[in-house]
Structure 1
Amino acid sequence: MTDIGGIKSDTQREIQNRIRELEKKGEFDGNVQPIDYAAMIRVSDDYVFLPRTFSFFLWRVFIRTAAAVLGPVLTKFVLGARVEGRKNLCGVKGFVAVCNHVHSLDNMIVRQAVFGHTLYITVAEFNNMKGPIGSIMRGAGTLPFSGNVKAMNELQKTLSLLLKKGCAVLGYPEQSLWLRYEKPRPFHNGMFHIAAANKVPVVPMFITFSAPSKLRSLFSKKKVATLHIFPPIYPDENLSRKENAAFSMDKAAKAWRDCYVSVYGREADIPSIL
């Protein structure tokens, strides 16, 4: 038996059991789904984050156009997705968006929410895959992290260039995907340092879940997703890069926690920083 999201029911149970195990251990950035390292393209010294070939340009245009057209339909069907607070993006150009990672399609909701901005998405190296799926993801704007120092220096330069051009860069400070997990998890500080280094705002985003409408419940009992967009957190000129990273991380964590309390009516009993 498979749900609308394409994940088998028994696999979903395994994922939720794994989440509970990691939650008890306090390992909030642990991976809960199997990783196929054999399908991964390693990020080497000479990895090209933004290919300059004409063929890749055409491929990127095609994939981004398809995502813009089909993405809202897909996320609405699979997640019943709604977006609140889009007005908070008015007048904001280059920025770092930080969102909780609770569905494999949550980046599509963000893409829909930031329409008008060119979106790039930072991902783990194991998401830099071989084959058609990997090609589609790179065309959509994924940029992989890795442990390769030279490649990461190049990634930093790439992100700086994109942010200066006014693009939006999405990162998941919780690091790993926990399917339909409702509480905010502890942050890693990488995306906040990227924002501070480039003197651009951080835009916190948080996905919550609620009961489906009566009509939707006829074909799916799963909760629907709402993406909340909060006001941008601008760097303080009087603070150092490190201080600005900590400042924006604290404010983003508070925005997430306040949203969680407001929507679910209970406190988030998890520390906000790793």
Structure 2
Amino acid sequence: MIGDREQVYENIRTAVSLNQLNSKVEPGDPKLLREDKEALLRHYIDYRTAYGFCVKKYIAEAIFHAGTSAVGLITQVDGLENLSGIRGPAIVTCNHFSPLDPAIVRFAMRKAGFRRISIVNQDSNLAMKGFVGYMQKYADTMPVSSLKWFMETEFPNQIENALDENKLVLIYPEQEMWFNYRKPRPCKRGAYLYAVKFNVPVISLFVEQQVKSIHLHTFRVHVLPVIYPDRQLDERTASLRMQHTDYEQKCAAYVMAYGKKLTYDFEEGDIVGR
């Protein structure tokens, strides 16, 4: 694991030097051929209504709930006043730096009075093994894919169904996880496109990471102003405006949290614990 993390840090350093701020840096992620993705997604679609899937989902959500409570012991939430008046469904966006992200976000949203949240993750996570793989498949997650047929039909239906159930939907606009990376990275447009398409707001979060001691890594969730779709604009323009606004908010939150200018020149302090 130590060697893997060292490789991740070097991959981050290389990606920053190449200005590839949304690239994959985790060397252990499953690498799937198109036919493997097809098989995984077809099985997911067929299996998700089965009794066995529902039982596993119930167990995974119970574990996730307990993990959220544990993460809450080292997490502080600021800016909840920005969510006053928000009661219905919404898209949630957050910087992506840890497998703990979903629990951190869920804890913050629980403080705001939201109980139900679905998490969008990569289709390759369906191939993960062990406990992490179990949670990736069953803890109220929904896969996103590069396969055209899935993204044209199944994925929008998943988003719409979750929103219709008054859930929050967590989408990481940075796309890939960069372990313990402090800086916000440019946002991809997908989250904001669905916000416009289904006419829901975006709850914008930025998580600050601090090291209190060699053994204590803590988090502060900054709840930023809610971003609403402009219904007077066309879908593309409205989503691009939301995308830009969210990134700017996250950049400003970084400057406020760490008291330093945001640049993408690599420094060892960009990665917590380095």
Q: How does 1:255-266 map to 2 (within 5 A)?
A: 255-266=249-260
Asked if the contact 2:93–2:202 (Cα under 8 Å) also holds between the matched residues in 1, the reply is yes
Structure 1 runs of 4+ with >4 Å offset: 38-41
Q: Secondary structure at the match of 2:222?
A: strand
Q: Deviation at 1:15?
A: 1.9
Contact 1:49–1:155 (8 Å) recurs in 2: no
Q: Which amino acid aligns with 1:171?
A: I
**Alpha carbons of structure 1 residues 130 and 31: separation in structure 2 relative to 1, 3 Å:** closer
Partner of 1:64: 61
SS in 1 for 2:169: strand
Shift of 1:132: 4.4
After TM superposition, the score normalised by the length of structure 1 is 0.83
**What residue ranges of structure 1 are gaps of 5+ in the alignment?**
1-6
Q: How does 1:45-194 map to 2 (within 5 A)?
A: 46=42, 47-48=44-45, 51-73=48-70, 75=71, 80-90=74-84, 91-115=86-110, 116-133=114-131, 134-152=133-151, 153-194=153-194
Aligned pair in 2 of structure 1 residues 72, 39: CA closer, same or farther (>3 Å)?
farther
Equivalent residue of 2:209, what SS? strand
Aligned mates of 2:24, 2:262 — CA distance in 1: 21
Length-normalised TM-score, structure 2: 0.83
- Partner Cα distance (2:255, 2:160) in 1: 35
SS at match of 2:221: strand
Question: Which amino acid in structure 2 is aligned with residue 102 of structure 1?
Answer: F
Identity %: 23
Amino acid at match of 2:233: L
* 3-state DSSP of counterpart to 1:173: coil
Separation in structure 1 between the aligned mates of residue 210 and residue 204 of structure 2, nearest angstrom: 20
In the TM superposition, residue 76 of structure 1 has moved relative to its aligned partner by 5.0
Would you say the 8 A contact 1:43–1:144 is kept in 2? no
Q: In structure 1, what is the Cα distance between the partners aligned to 2:128 and 2:177? A: 20
2:104 maps to a residue whose letter is I
Unaligned runs of 5+ in 2: 265-274
Contact preservation (8 Å) 2:94, 2:204: yes
Instruction: Decide which moves more: 129-138 or 179-188.
Output: 129-138
Range 194-203 or range 87-96, more displaced: 87-96
Aligned residue type for 1:192 = Y
CA RMSD of aligned residues (A): 2.4
Please tell me whether residue 19 in structure 1 is matched to residue 16 in structure 2: no
**SS of the counterpart of 1:224?**
strand
